[in-house]
A and B are shown apart, each in its own frame.
Chain A
Amino acid sequence: MTENNINSYAIEAKDLNLYYGETLAVRDVNIQIEKQKITAMIGPSGCGKSTVLRAFNRMNDLIPSAHANGSVLYHGKNIYEEDVDPVEVRRRIGMVFQKPNPFPKSIYDNVAWGAQINGYTGNMDDLVEESLRGAALWNEVKDNLDKSGLSLSGGQQQRLCIARTIAVKPDIILMDEPASALDPIATLKIEDLMQELAKDFTIIVVTHNMQQAARVSNFTAFFNLGEDYAGVLEEYGVTAEIFTNPKKKTTEDYITGRFG
Chain B
Amino acid sequence: MRKTFEYEIQQLKDNILTLGSMAEQALLDSVDALKHRDIPRSQEIYDNDDLINAKRFEVENAVMVAIATQQPMAHDLRLLASILDIAGELERMGDYAKGIAKINIIMGEQKLLKPLVDLPLMAEKTVDMLHRALTAFIEEDLNAAKSIPTEDDVVDALYTQIYQELITYVIADPTGIERSNWLLWAAHNLERVGDRVTNICERTVFIATGELDQTDTSN
Q: For residue B1, which residues in chain A have a CB less than 8 angstroms away from its CB?
A: 188-189, 192
The answer to whether B70 and A215 have CB atoms under 8 Å apart is yes
How far in angstroms is the closest Cβ of chain B from A194? 10
Q: Which of B1-45 contact A (CB under 8 A)?
A: 1-5
Q: Which of A184-212 contact B (CB under 8 A)?
A: 188-189, 191-192, 195, 211
| Partner of B69 from A188, A195, A215 at Cβ < 8 Å | A215
Please tell me which stretch of A26-34, A57-65, A141-149, A238-246 contacts chain B, meaning at least 4 of its Cβ atoms lie within 8 angstroms of it.
A238-246
Q: For residue A215, which residues in chain B have a CB less than 8 angstroms away from its CB?
A: 4-5, 69-71
> Main SS of the interface on chain B?
helix
The answer to whether A243 and B68 have CB atoms under 8 Å apart is yes
Chain B: interface residue count, which band?
10 to 19
Q: Known interface pairs A240-B65, A243-B65, A244-B64. Does A211 touch B71 (Cβ–Cβ under 8 Å)?
A: yes
How far in angstroms is the closest Cβ of chain B from A37? 13
Minimal Cβ-Cβ distance residue in B for A238: B65
Q: For residue A124, which residues in chain B have a CB less than 8 angstroms away from its CB?
A: none
Interface string of A14-30 (1 = CB under 8 A from B): 00000000000000000
Q: For residue A240, which residues in chain B have a CB less than 8 angstroms away from its CB?
A: 65, 68-69
**Interface flag for A214 (CB, 8 Å):** yes
| Partner of A214 from B2, B3, B64, B70 at Cβ < 8 Å | B70
How many Å lie between the Cα of A192 and that of B5 in the bound state? 10
How many Å lie between the Cα of A24 and that of B3 in the bound state? 41
Q: For residue B3, which residues in chain A have a CB less than 8 angstroms away from its CB?
A: 192, 195
The answer to whether B71 and A188 have CB atoms under 8 Å apart is no
The answer to whether A239 and B2 have CB atoms under 8 Å apart is no
Interface string of B50-65 (1 = CB under 8 A from A): 0000000000010011
The answer to whether A214 and B4 have CB atoms under 8 Å apart is no
Q: For residue A216, which residues in chain B have a CB less than 8 angstroms away from its CB?
A: 4
How many Å lie between the Cα of A240 and that of B70 in the bound state? 10
Q: For residue A191, which residues in chain B have a CB less than 8 angstroms away from its CB?
A: 2
Q: For residue B65, which residues in chain A have a CB less than 8 angstroms away from its CB?
A: 240, 243-244
How far in angstroms is the closest Cβ of chain A from B35? 44
Minimal Cβ-Cβ distance residue in A for B61: A244
Q: For residue A243, which residues in chain B have a CB less than 8 angstroms away from its CB?
A: 65, 68-69
Q: For residue B71, which residues in chain A have a CB less than 8 angstroms away from its CB?
A: 211, 214-215
| Partner of A192 from B2, B61, B68, B70 at Cβ < 8 Å | B2
Minimal Cβ-Cβ distance residue in A for B7: A195
The answer to whether A195 and B68 have CB atoms under 8 Å apart is no
Write the residues of chain B forming the contact surface with A, with a CB cutoff of 8 angstroms.
Answer: 1-5, 61, 64-65, 68-71
21 sample A-B contacts, Cβ–Cβ < 8 Å, listed by A number: A188-B1, A188-B2, A189-B1, A191-B2, A192-B1, A192-B3, A195-B4, A214-B68, A215-B4, A215-B5, A215-B69, A215-B70, A215-B71, A216-B4, A239-B69, A240-B65, A240-B68, A240-B69, A243-B65, A243-B68, A244-B61
4 further A-B contacts with Cβ under 8 Å, apart from A195-B3, A214-B68, A244-B65, are: A191-B2, A215-B4, A240-B68, A243-B68
